[in-house]
């Protein structure tokens, strides 16, 4: 997701595609049939989708959105409206569900952690369902649904995969399950930060806490829109070929509600971390001040006494006393002990 | 409740059960008849539920959810949908009420304090009601409804226990009553923390306050979802065999509203504790600074005076005066007294 | 109100009354007829309510809820449902309005300040209206409606007191009027605290502010539920014998909305007090630090100079100069004056 | 507006008027006819309103609410319900719109700044519309609608002043326009406070900021209730003689929404001022601490060195060296320069 | 936008225009026909709009609102209601959508950055659509839709520009696209501020953060009202000549929702900046305090020791020892090393 990109459209006519940028990346197209036959990068032009669909569902999986021309070709083949195509290519688009009598469109983000860069990534994914055809458009070069596909191919799979709607559900469900993984990761970060704040109260963790906050903010935006989109999908206006699928979407909705709750908890915990960190910083300062005060409170009066007997008055009788020096040293010792006791009673160390 | 568990399902087909983990714990099944006859761990396979139900309500109490195979067997016997079974086994599931013409499903958490570990525990409980059959599934090895059952068996009990719906109500009511106990415990913690903050303002209670906050956050999530679930249960779409039970559920709803209010109050009090703690920390720092300033303000000028008469100039007439030394000592004393008075007028001690 | 009490019911069958505790206090029953005839502690058993009601309204006023047996007897006489009786005895119950074709039930709190203990008290009051019978149940040994009753008895009273519904309204109206007195008290506390914070900025008022906050939190809970209850009472589903009473309840509703607004204002003011207090504490610390810095900034350099001429080097030409001592003293004076000017320009005192 | 007054009613029968207080102030009654004829303090008793109304609208303008008897007389003449009269005399009443088939009642506050006392004043104004009669009741001795009236009398006025409803609208519109003046005043205060905080960061502006906050709180309460009242006035249940007036009320509603938005902005700005002030106070403390640290860091080590050579050991070879003194002075100088450089690199001054 | 202006209307009759101020600026009127023919400052009086409209849409573009007379003339020509004219001239008006059977009115702000003054500007723009006539009124001397117009004239433009409604959409869409540019600018400011706070933690960025906050507050107000206005435009009550335009407005609505979300994120980030800044200021103070404490903790005790041996007692045996001086120096060194180690273990530097 590149939030910065969106605004470049400003001033363009709606539905107009920015073809100049299409050279940069690669776009792979995959065609998967219910029978299990997979075609990599087929010749889109000569493809007969109508004929295909009779043999069960067909899945067009577009991986990478950089080759805008190719994406556009696929879009034309499956008769996408130009505004939908625009939504597909706008990688910062918020989650949305849109439907008409003909088609269902679901936009969401596939979240994962890029562990090398320690970065939260949100890959733009668009699902388009029309009769028995499902088309998915994924940002990034990796196919996020590889492992899910393997399960589908497995003949013992419990999934009743005879319907494109079920596939539509599976892809959404699989994507939302990723949010649990992300939440788990976030929870670990929060807990380890809490441990550091508890055990090493001198370490200022403000930057880590801010990073956590940023991630919560980003995820919350996604999850809230996802929740609204799924709620819309579940409304009675939306008609499914097989209405029993509705129960599965209700289940997905429960999941996203759970993720939303986890995020709220994470938010509360992040605020608690911030409070803890502030408390630590204040305590650390407090300890520094106490050390200074203890040292100063003990030694400044003693130094003053030493200063008195360092004066050069001619007539200072104590200076001539034989026991003057040890007496003064003893006085100083008594004073110091008294000071230490006084400070200790105040509970400073 | 193990929040961490949920996400393991990611990538699994929906309704698929993770059987590999089933070895760890134990699951006890109990069959209680209205007549009072109790069967521990009966042979589920050979059991004739339909016949049993004619003789009044029948309660299948499943304690412990570790033996997934056993739970699954019970589920199959009472014809649970695979998604409900999944909800039963997902111990982090949020409270929910679900109903169809056939069944009513209530998911909630039984809260209690593990006093040894000083930990707030929330045990996952699922209630399933179908005709005159009620099934409960409890997380953990302890039967939380033992004492409630004893009351039911008591012939003088005021409960009109002739109906499974009434039992359904009693289990929910009993569980929600536990939240009052938890709230009482929380209130005590808050009040004792407040007492400490009032009486020992030097003690930083941030960790205790954070713990209180955490518990409020966890409980709030549960209670909010409980409230929504009970609200749904009370809606007119839900049909009961005996409609007079509705008044009892309204009563339960009042209770959960009360718990929710108590939590809001607890939240406000926790914020007040935090403010009090910050105030204490600041005051403590203030006192330290004042001590330092008092000591420094009195002795630094005196030391300076002593320093002057410690200089080795040849021509310092005061040094030769007979009354120089006592005069300077008196001057110092006057200065010190003046300083003390000045500070006292400023109200520093 | 004893919040702690509620949870004791946990585990009890619903509607079951805890009779063991009934010994502690006293319960007075009063029977007031429209004619003005008052019976104190009548023999409830032998009483013929049906006959009485024909002669106009009749008011059963139960003062003190400690003698549970007596309360129960009254309840049985006027045919209260066991759940209503439970609500009467649960002194921590939140405000609620409940109605059926037969009866109207209003639960609220009578607020007052116990000036001796400087405590905000909320006495549990339950109103039960059925045909021309009104029953009130009051917590505490004092009859809160004594003065209101005197007004009613007054023949010149403008109240058209021919209907039990009007009496029902008058009791609620009178109770809600008490909230204005409480708000007035709260406003005075807030304003006097503000005055102290303005005039004696050294005094930390955190404990007073926290107490104000606590009271606002408690009152807010009551007032919000009262508002909702009155809103429900005003809904079209509720039928009155004399519909013109509705206008009076609308007036009461306006009052509680006003109280709610006053509470919001009080909340805002309390937050402002907190900010002011924090500002005062910071300023006080600031002043302490400035004093320390001024003293140190002036005297530490001077002491250093004195230290230099206290050194015992053999060859220190200044020491031999006749004007060395006065010169050094002058230098110190100039330095001190310069320092004072520098500090003053910085605006520190 | 005297918030304190309201509670005095507690215990009074509803609709009962407190006549004892009526001696204090003056109440002026003015009768304005559409023809432009104005009667000051007419004899209310002998007045024939019905006859008057046939000749176009008639406006009864009551200025000052202190002479309760007079207000009551007017009220009786125009057949006000006793509860409406109570609302008129309750000067702390919140804005409200009330209507029946017969009449329309609008309660609001006329806001203005008493520049002498630098106080925000809210004068209670009640509008009562019945057929072609409009009655206004204003708190305070000043007639706030004098200038508006002048405009009406002006024959070139664009106002189509043939209808009492239009007059009703004009008074409300004129009153709400005053809120813009108040907002402007508030905005100026906020901006000038911001300027002071920017340019004189040593000045603590907490009291000014608190005053701004207080005013926002008071205004927000009024404006929110005004918005709700106007919304109610615009609902379809309210019937106007001339429905084209609705467009004008929509315009007024837009204005009050605008004021509400301005208040939200003012609130945000006030919070920003608070943050800025805290930042200033902290910075000021920071600067003080830095000064102290710089002085101490430079001179304490130097004083120590001087202290060493002030010791009276017999065998201290340096003391006898001819160049000892200048060498030590140079060492001190180097040390001081090094310290200054170190501190400057840290960016402390 | 000049918020201050609005209130000047106070006291004016509604719909009355303030003509006195009309001398100041310039107002350009442009008439654009679908055919591409553009007339600059045509003679409005003699213009036949009805005839023109038959030849396709016609666009009257009024640039600059200072010449009130001219604006009024245009308004009269196209038969604007006086309240609409007032809205056009009130440059602080909030975004609003208004419609009747005859016309559609859209008020919004065109946002841009005045880079020279580094100021966020919001130019008041009013769109008025009636049959095939569209009129736009823009504040400021610049024509903001110049570049959009160029695109329209371009024959290869994808826009189906045969309908005034489409033009109405394009102007709104183009204006809302500007908000993305502003958000981008804001995001850059936030990120660069964050970088400064990370890399130069000594620099207090409070003024920059406050400026960001102010801009967010201003934009949020606009965007919220824009969202509500577009929502109203999309409601079923609004009828379009060509209903297929609705899909385009849905798209615009999605955009403004996206902007609103970006603003929420920006708000969260701004709060994070504030927290970071506070943390930096505290850390900076902490470092200063540590430096002071380190210096004082090491040198004050050493100075005290030196002070002891600076005393002038006759009988101080150490002073006579040959190795006294080096021994004491060594003791001091050991003490200093110990202190440094102690401080280092505490993690202070």
**Residues of chain A neighbouring B204 (CB-CB closer than 8 A):** 279, 283
In contact, B196 and B190? CB cutoff 8 Å: no
E95 backbone dihedrals φ, ψ, rounded to 5°: -55, 140
CA distance E280 to chain A (A): 9
CB–CB contact E286 A284 (8 Å)? yes
Strand (E) positions, A28-117?
28-33, 38-40, 58-63, 96-99, 103-114
Number of other CB atoms surrounding residue B143 within 10 Å? 16
State yes or no: pLDDT of A50 exceeds 80: no
Q: Alpha helices of chain A — where are they, by DSSP H?
A: 49-54, 68-77, 82-89, 146-153, 164-199, 206-233, 245-308, 317-320, 324-345
pLDDT surpassing 80 at residue A15:
no
Nearest to B10 among A181, A269, A276 (CB): A181
- Which residue in chain A is spatially nearest to E282 when comparing CA positions? A281
DSSP, residue by residue, B301-316: HHHHHHHHTT---S--
- Contact call for residues E2 and E92 (beta carbons, < 8 A): yes
Contact C309 B304 (CB under 8 A): no
**pLDDT tens-digit profile of A194-235?**
999 988 887 888 889 999 999 999 999 999 999 999 999 998
Say what the pLDDT of residue B284 is. 85
Q: Give the model's pLDDT for residue A55.
A: 65
Give, in degrees to the nearest 5, the angle at Cα B271 between B269 and B273.
Answer: 70
Min Cα distance D44 → chain E (Å) is 30
- The neighbour count for residue C248, using CB atoms within 10 Å, is 18
How much is the pLDDT for A20?
44
Tell me what pLDDT residue B10 has.
46
Return the structure tokens found at C276.
């002011």
Q: Does B260 touch chain C (CB under 8 A)?
A: no
For testing the chain A interface, which of B83, B100, B210 should be mutated: the one with the most A CBs within 10 Å? Answer: B210
Chain E 267-326, residues with CB within 8 Å of chain A CB atoms = 268-269, 272, 275-276, 279, 282-283, 285-286, 289-290, 292-293, 296-297, 300-301, 303-304, 307-308, 310-316
Nearest partner of C88 among C71, C67, C69, C63, judged by Cα: C71
Q: What pLDDT, on the 0 to 100 scale, is given for residue D97? A: 94
Least-confidence region, from C150-159, C337-346, E35-44: C150-159
CB-based burial, C309-324: b 16+ in 10 Å, e otherwise: bbbbbeebebbeeeeb
Select the more confidently predicted residue: A152 or D77: D77
Q: What pLDDT is stored for residue A22 in this prediction? A: 44
Structure tokens at A54: 């009779």
**The model's pTM:** 0.81
Confidence (pLDDT) at E132: 85
Instruction: Name the pairing type of β-strands D133-138 and D119-130.
Output: antiparallel
Measured in degrees and rounded to the nearest 5, phi and psi for residue D292 equal: -55, -45
Task: Round to whole Å and give the CA distance between C299 and A316.
Answer: 25
Residues B325, A313: contact at Cβ < 8 Å?
yes
φ/ψ bin of D39: left (φ > 0), alpha (ψ from -120 to 50), beta (otherwise): beta
> Is the predicted pLDDT of residue B8 greater than 60, yes or no?
no
Cβ–Cβ of D311/E316 closer than 8 Å?
no
Q: Specify the pLDDT at position A156.
A: 47
Confidence of residue C327 (pLDDT cuts 50, 70, 90): confident
> Is C292 in contact with D292 (Cβ distance < 8 A)?
yes
The count of C-alpha atoms lying within 13 angstroms of the C-alpha of C284, restricted to the half-sphere facing its C-beta, is: 26
The Cα C250–Cα C233 span in angstroms is 10
Find the helix packing angle between C245-308 and D82-89, rounded to 10°. 10
Cα(E135)–Cα(D96) distance, rounded to whole angstroms?
Answer: 39
CB atoms within 10 A of CB B173: 21
Residue D286: its chain E contacts at CB < 8 A?
281, 284-285, 288
By Cβ distance, the residue of E13, E206, E287 closest to D279 is E206
Q: pLDDT band for B3, please (50, 70, 90 cuts).
A: very low
- pLDDT score of D231 more than 80: yes
Q: What is the mean pLDDT of residues A63-92?
A: 88
Neighbours of chain A (3+ CB pairs under 8 A): B, E
Question: Other C-beta atoms within 10 Å of E234: how many?
Answer: 14
What is the enclosing helix (H) or strand (E) of B246?
Answer: helix B245-308
Chains in contact with E, where contact requires at least 3 CB pairs less than 8 Å apart: A, D
Tell me which residues of chain E, numbers 51 to 80, contact chain D at a CB-CB cutoff of 8 Å: none
Is A245 in the E-facing interface, judged by CB distances under 8 Å?
no
Kindly report the three-state secondary structure assignment for every residue of C295-324: HHHHHHHHHHHHHHCCCCCCCCHHHHCCCH
- At residue D260, the 3 state secondary structure works out as helix
**Once rounded to an integer, what is the mean pLDDT over residues D174-183?**
93
Pairwise CB contact (< 8 Å): E303 & A300: no
Q: How far apart are CA B182 and CA B173, in angstroms?
A: 15
Strand locations in chain D, DSSP E?
28-33, 38-40, 58-63, 96-99, 103-114, 119-130, 133-138
Please state the φ and ψ torsions of residue B160, each to the nearest 5 degrees.
Answer: -85, 80
- Whether the per-residue pLDDT at A4 is higher than 70: the answer is no
The alpha-helical segments, DSSP class H, found in chain C are: 3-6, 49-53, 68-77, 82-89, 146-153, 164-199, 206-233, 245-308, 317-320, 324-345
Is A258 within 8 Å of B92 when comparing Cβ atoms? Answer: yes
Structure confidence at residue A223 (pLDDT):
94
DSSP assigned state of B23 = G
Q: What are phi and psi of A138, to 5 degrees?
A: -115, 135
ipTM score over 0.85, yes or no? no
Least confident window among B6-10, C81-85, C344-348, D4-8: D4-8
CA distance D282 to D288: 10
Q: Residue B179 pLDDT more than 90?
A: yes
CA distance E12 to E26: 24
pLDDT at A115 over 60: yes
Please tell me which of the candidates A178, A279, A282 has its beta carbon nearest to residue B10: A178
Asked whether the beta carbons of residue A83 and residue E247 sit closer than 8 angstroms, the reply is: yes
Tokens 């606009």 sit on residue: E222
pLDDT at D264: 92
Is the pLDDT reported for residue D319 higher than 60? yes
Q: Which of E213, E319, E322 sits opposite D272 (nearest CB)?
A: E213
Ranked by mean pLDDT, the top range of A111-115, B23-27, C220-224, E237-241 is C220-224
Measured between beta carbons, which residues in chain B are less than 8 angstroms from residue A313? 309, 318-319, 321, 324-325, 328
Query: Does the distance separating the beta carbons of C93 and B258 come in below 8 Å?
Result: yes
- Joined together, the tokens standing for residue C318 give 């200044």
Q: Give dist(CA C267, CA C271) in Å, integer.
A: 6
With an 8 Å Cβ cutoff, is D4 touching chain C?
Answer: yes
**C291 closest CB neighbour out of B276, B283, B297:** B297
Residues A226/A256, Cβ–Cβ less than 8 Å: yes
Give mean pLDDT, residues C259-276.
92
Interface of E with A in 178-237 (CB under 8 A): 178, 180-181, 183-184, 187, 198
Are E220 and E267 within 8 A, CB to CB? Answer: yes
Residue E104's pLDDT is what? Answer: 93
Q: Would you place residue D153 in the very low, low, confident or very high pLDDT band (cuts 50, 70, 90)?
A: low
Query: How much of chain C, in percent, has pLDDT values that exceed 70?
Result: 87
CB of E330 within 8 Å of a chain D CB? The answer is no
């Amino acid at each position: 997701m590149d939030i910065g990109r969106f605004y470049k459209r400003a001033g363009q006519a709606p539905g107009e595609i920015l073809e100049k940028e299409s050279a940069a990346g690669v776009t792979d197209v995959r065609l998967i049939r219910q029978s299990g036959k997979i075609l990599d990068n087929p010749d889109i032009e000569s493809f007969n989708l109508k004929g295909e669909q009779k043999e069960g569902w067909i899945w067009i999986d577009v991986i990478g959105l950089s080759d805008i021309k190719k994406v556009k070709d696929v879009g034309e083949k499956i008769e996408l409206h130009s505004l939908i195509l625009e939504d597909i290519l706008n990688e910062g688009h918020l989650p949305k569900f849109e439907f008409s009598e003909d088609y269902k469109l679901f936009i969401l983000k596939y979240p994962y952690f890029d562990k090398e860069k320690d970065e939260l990534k949100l890959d733009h994914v668009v699902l388009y369902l029309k009769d028995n055809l499902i088309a998915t458009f994924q940002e990034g070069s990796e196919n996020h649904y590889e492992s899910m596909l393997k399960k589908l191919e497995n003949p013992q799979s419990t999934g009743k995969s005879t319907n494109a709607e079920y596939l539509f559900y599976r892809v959404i469900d699989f994507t939302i399950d990723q949010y649990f993984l992300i939440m788990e990761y976030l929870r670990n970060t929060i807990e380890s930060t809490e441990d550091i704040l508890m055990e090493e109260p001198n370490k200022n963790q403000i930057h880590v806490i801010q990073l956590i906050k940023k991630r919560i903010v980003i995820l919350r935006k996604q999850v809230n829109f996802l929740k609204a989109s799924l709620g819309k999908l579940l409304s009675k206006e939306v008609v499914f070929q097989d209405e029993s699928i509705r129960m599965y979407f209700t289940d997905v909705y429960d999941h996203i509600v759970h993720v939303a709750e986890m995020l709220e908890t994470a938010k509360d915990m992040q605020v608690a971390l911030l409070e803890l960190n502030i408390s630590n910083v204040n305590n650390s300062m407090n300890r520094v001040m106490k050390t200074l005060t203890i040292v100063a409170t003990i030694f400044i009066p003693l130094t003053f006494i030493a200063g008195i007997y360092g004066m050069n008055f001619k007539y200072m009788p104590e200076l001539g006393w034989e026991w003057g020096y040890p007496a003064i040293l003893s006085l100083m010792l008594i004073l110091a002990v008294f000071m230490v006791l006084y400070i200790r009673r105040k509970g400073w160390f």
